[in-house]
Chain A
Amino acid sequence: MNVILVGMNHKTAPLELRERLSFSCGDVVRPLDELLRAPAVREALYLSTCNRVEVLARAEDMEEAIARVKSFILRHGNLGAAELEKCLYVYCGSDAVRHLFRVASSLDSMVMGEPQILGQVKEAYRDCVEQKASGIILNKLLHHAFRTAKRVRTETAVAGNAVSVSYAAVEMAKKILGSLEGRTVLLVGAGEMSELAARHLLNNGAGRIIVANRTYARAVQVAEEIHGVPVGFELLEEKLQEADIVISSTGAAGYILTPAMVQGALRRRKNRLLFLIDIAVPRDVDPAVGRIDNVYLFNIDDLQGVVDENVRNRLQEAEKAEGIIGEEVLRFAEWYNTLEVVPTIVSLREKAETILRAELERSGSWLRALGEEDRKNVEILATQIINKILHDPVTGLKEESQSNGAMPYVAAIRKLFRLEAAESPQDASPGDKPAEKETEPSEGY
C-alpha cells in the first residue's frame, strides 16, 4: 500500500516543538501546496492539533516521499536532523492506515476517548478537499477512518465515563440523586476544583448554587463568577437543609461539618438524599457523617478512585476498539488491493472490445447481407464469447490481489495480451483528481 504517515505527537515530542511546527505551518504557508509540489507525493493530508502534527500521504515512491515530508517538517520546525529523528514516527502501508484509524478513534489521544480529535481530523480533511489535495485513495481512506471512529464510539465505551475528578463528582451526583434538574449545590469555601465541579453540575442541569465562605466578600466574588448566591458562614447549617449536593473545600484545620449538624439538617429536610463532596485536605467533613443513612460522603481519594476505575474501564474498552480497528484496516487493504488490478482488468476489457469492433467492421460486407435481427444476434454471440473467455482471468486477478501476489499475474497478463506497458497501475487508477462521488467530507458521517 503506497500510503505513508509521518508525524509527532504528545508522546514523542515536547510541546515546545509541536508548537513551533504548528505555528509556522498553520499561518505562514499552505502546507498542502508545498507537500504536493514534490512529485513523489500524490495526495496529502495535513493534521495539526495541540497534541500532534501529522502528514498523511499517498506516495508515488515511498522512500522519496518520506524524505520529502521529513525535510518539510525539518524546515518548518527549525530543527536539527538528529533532534527531528528522535521525535518523528514514520508508518507505511497498513501501519499508516492503522495509525490514522487510531487517531480518529481517539485511542492515540492524551486523554483517551476525548471527542474533539475526530472533528479535528474532519477539519483537516475538509482543507485537504478544498485545496484539491485528496484523490481516490485518501478520500476512501478518510471516510473509512470516520466510519471506524463511529464504530468505536458506538460499540465500545472508550469515551464512557468521567476521567477527571471534577467530572467524577457530577457522575456520582447522578448515580445518587438521579436527575440533577433543579438541584441545589452548596459550595463551602472556594477553590479551583470545587468551582469547576460546580460549573459541571450547572451544565448538567443543577438549578441553584449557594456559596458560603468565612469571608463574605470572597463568597460574593466567587458567587458572581458562577452565578451563585453568596451567604455568610453563620448560615451554613440552615443552607445545609436546602442543598442536595455540598462541595466543601475550605482551608480549615478541623472539621466544619459534624455528624450532629448533618443529622439535624437531614431531619429538617425530611431525609432527602444528601451528597457531600469533601475535597479539602485536611478534611472538612467528619468521616462519621458518611455513616448516616441517606448521606453519601465522598472525599478526594474516593473521587480519584472513581476516576481510576473509569480509566481502567476505558483501557479495557480500548482493547475491544483495537480489535475493531484491526478489522477495518483489513477491510481497507482489501479495497486497496483490488485497486492494483483494476487498471489491468480495464485495459484487458478495452482490448477485447477493440478487437470485437474491428472484426465486426471487417466482416461488414457479409454481415450487411443478413437481416437486422440476425446481425444483432451475431454481435451478441461474439460479445458473450469474449465475456466468457475473460471471466476467469478477471476473477483470478481479483482473487490474487487479496493475497498480495498479484503483481506477477498482472505483469504476465499485460505481456501476454500485449497491453501497453507504459503506465504503472497506480497512475492508471481512475483518480488523480478527486473523484466526484467521494469528495464531500461531510458525507453523513
Chain B
Amino acid sequence: MDTLFFKAALAAYFLATAGYLVSLVARRVVMAKIATWVLGLAVALHAVHFLDMYTERGFNVAVNLFEAVSFFAWIVSGAYLAVQARTKTRVLGAIVAPFAVLLMMLASLGIEGTLAIPDALQGRLVPIHVTLSIIGEGLFALASLAGVMYCIQDRQIRRRRMGGLARYLPSLGDLDNINHTGLLWGFPLLTLGLIVGSVWAKTAWGGSNWAADPKTIWSFAVWCFYAFLLHQRLAIGWKGRKIAVLSIAALVVLISAFIGVNFLSSVHKFT
C-alpha cells in the first residue's frame, strides 16, 4: 500500500502546527491564516490517502487501530476547518493541529502494517459502525479542544492578562459555540454508530447485542459522558467554563476508550 499521501499529509499537519505556534509566539494573525491554509492542504492530502485506500481494497477503511486514529485526526481537523470558516477562530488551530499531529504520529507507527481483520469485524455493517462512531468521536474531540482553549482564555481574562496571549485567542462566546456545535452533531452520529455496532454484534456474537468487553463498556461510558454533557447544556443550560472543564475530562475518557482500552479488549479490538 502506498503511503505517500499519508506522509505528505503528516508533513502538512506538522507544518500547520508550526505555523500556528509561530503565530502565537510572534503574535501575528497572518501566520495563523497561512497555517489554516496549510491545515486545509493537510486535510486534502489526507483525503487523497483515504481515496487511495478505498480504490485499493473497497470500503474497509479504518479497521485497524492506526488507520482509525488517522481517520480520527482527519475528522477533527476537517470539522475544525468547517467551523472556523464560519467563526474565524483561527487560533484554535493551535490546539487542533498539534492534536492531529500526535494522532498522525501514532498512526504512522502502523500504517504500513499488514491488514488482518478478525472474523468478528468482517461484515457490511462494520465499516458503517466504525465510520459513524469515529466521526461522532471526532466532533466530540473538537468540542473538548475548544473547551481547553476556553479554559485558557477564561483564565487570562479573569486574571486581567489582556496584553499577551488573550489578545490572539478566540472569544469565549465563539469557543462556547464550537463546543455546543461539536456536542450537538457528535451525539447523534456516535449514537447511530453504536446502534449499528450493536445490531452487528447480534449477528457476529450470536444472540446478544452486548458483550461485556472492556472496549464496549468504555465506549458506552464515553457515550454516557457526552450524553450527560449535552443534556446539561440543552436542558439545564450549563454553559461556559463548567462545560469546558467537563469536556476536557470527557476527552480523556474518549482517548482512553479509543486507544488504551483497545489493548485490553479481546473480541472487539482493532488489529
- Checking B158, B166, B167, B172 against A177 with a beta-carbon cut-off of 8 angstroms, the contacting residue is B172
Min Cβ gap A233→B in Å is 27
Min Cβ gap B130→A in Å is 35
The A164-203 residues at the B interface (CB cut-off 8 A) are 172, 174-179
Contact in complex: A313, B163 (CB < 8 Å): yes
- Checking B163, B173, B242 against A312 with a beta-carbon cut-off of 8 angstroms, the contacting residue is B163
Contact in complex: A306, B162 (CB < 8 Å): yes
Min Cβ gap B58→A in Å is 44
Contacts of A313 in B (CB 8 A): 163, 167
Contact in complex: B173, A179 (CB < 8 Å): yes
Q: Which residue of B is nearest A178, CB measured?
A: B173
CA distance A294 to B157 in the complex (A): 11
Contact in complex: A178, B157 (CB < 8 Å): no
Contact in complex: A270, B237 (CB < 8 Å): yes
Q: Which residue of A is nearest B239, CB measured?
A: A271
CA distance A309 to B165 in the complex (A): 12
Interface membership of chain B positions 148-192, coded 1 if the CB is closer than 8 angstroms to chain A and 0 otherwise: 000001000110101100110011111011000000000000000
Min Cβ gap A306→B in Å is 5
Residue B238, interface by CB 8 Å: yes
Contacts of B193 in A (CB 8 A): none
Contacts of A179 in B (CB 8 A): 173-174
Contact in complex: A175, B238 (CB < 8 Å): no
Contact in complex: B242, A293 (CB < 8 Å): yes
- Checking B158, B163, B170, B241 against A309 with a beta-carbon cut-off of 8 angstroms, the contacting residue is B163
Contacts of A349 in B (CB 8 A): none
The A263-295 residues at the B interface (CB cut-off 8 A) are 270-273, 290, 293-294
Interface membership of chain B positions 241-257, coded 1 if the CB is closer than 8 angstroms to chain A and 0 otherwise: 11000000000000000
Contacts of A161 in B (CB 8 A): 167
- Checking B160, B163, B238 against A271 with a beta-carbon cut-off of 8 angstroms, the contacting residue is B238
Contacts of A174 in B (CB 8 A): 171
- Checking B167, B172, B242 against A176 with a beta-carbon cut-off of 8 angstroms, the contacting residue is B172
Contact in complex: B173, A177 (CB < 8 Å): yes
Contact in complex: B239, A178 (CB < 8 Å): no
Q: Which residue of A is nearest B236, CB measured?
A: A270
Contact in complex: B173, A271 (CB < 8 Å): no
- Please tell me the number of chain B residues within 8 Å of chain A, measured between CB atoms: 22
Residue A205, interface by CB 8 Å: no
CA distance A429 to B178 in the complex (A): 63
CA distance A177 to B239 in the complex (A): 12
Contacts of B177 in A (CB 8 A): 178
Residue A438, interface by CB 8 Å: no
CA distance A175 to B171 in the complex (A): 4
Q: Which residue of A is nearest B156, CB measured?
A: A175
Contacts of B242 in A (CB 8 A): 293
Contact in complex: B162, A309 (CB < 8 Å): yes
CA distance A176 to B87 in the complex (A): 14
Residue B240, interface by CB 8 Å: yes
Residue A91, interface by CB 8 Å: no
CA distance A347 to B242 in the complex (A): 81
Contacts of B173 in A (CB 8 A): 176-179, 273
Contact in complex: B239, A305 (CB < 8 Å): no
Contacts of B238 in A (CB 8 A): 271
Q: Which residue of A is nearest B166, CB measured?
A: A175
Contacts of B241 in A (CB 8 A): 293-294
Contacts of A296 in B (CB 8 A): 157-158
Given contacts A161-B167, A178-B173, A306-B162, contact A272 B239 (CB under 8 A): yes
Interface membership of chain A positions 241-280, coded 1 if the CB is closer than 8 angstroms to chain B and 0 otherwise: 0000000000000000000000000000011110000000
Contacts of B157 in A (CB 8 A): 172, 175-176, 296
CA distance A161 to B163 in the complex (A): 10
CA distance A290 to B111 in the complex (A): 50
Contacts of A176 in B (CB 8 A): 157, 171-173
Contacts of B239 in A (CB 8 A): 270-273, 294
Contacts of A293 in B (CB 8 A): 240-242
CA distance A361 to B140 in the complex (A): 91
Contacts of A271 in B (CB 8 A): 237-240
Residue A302, interface by CB 8 Å: yes
The 4 A-B pairs at the shortest CB distance, nearest first, are namely: A270-B237, A178-B173, A309-B163, A178-B171
Give me 17 A-to-B residue pairs in the complex whose CB atoms sit less than 8 angstroms apart, sorted by A's number.
Answer: A176-B171, A176-B173, A177-B171, A178-B173, A178-B174, A178-B177, A271-B237, A271-B238, A271-B239, A272-B239, A273-B173, A293-B240, A293-B242, A294-B240, A296-B158, A302-B160, A306-B160
Residues of B participating in the A interface, judged by any CB pair closer than 8 Å: 87, 153, 157-158, 160, 162-163, 166-167, 170-174, 176-177, 237-242
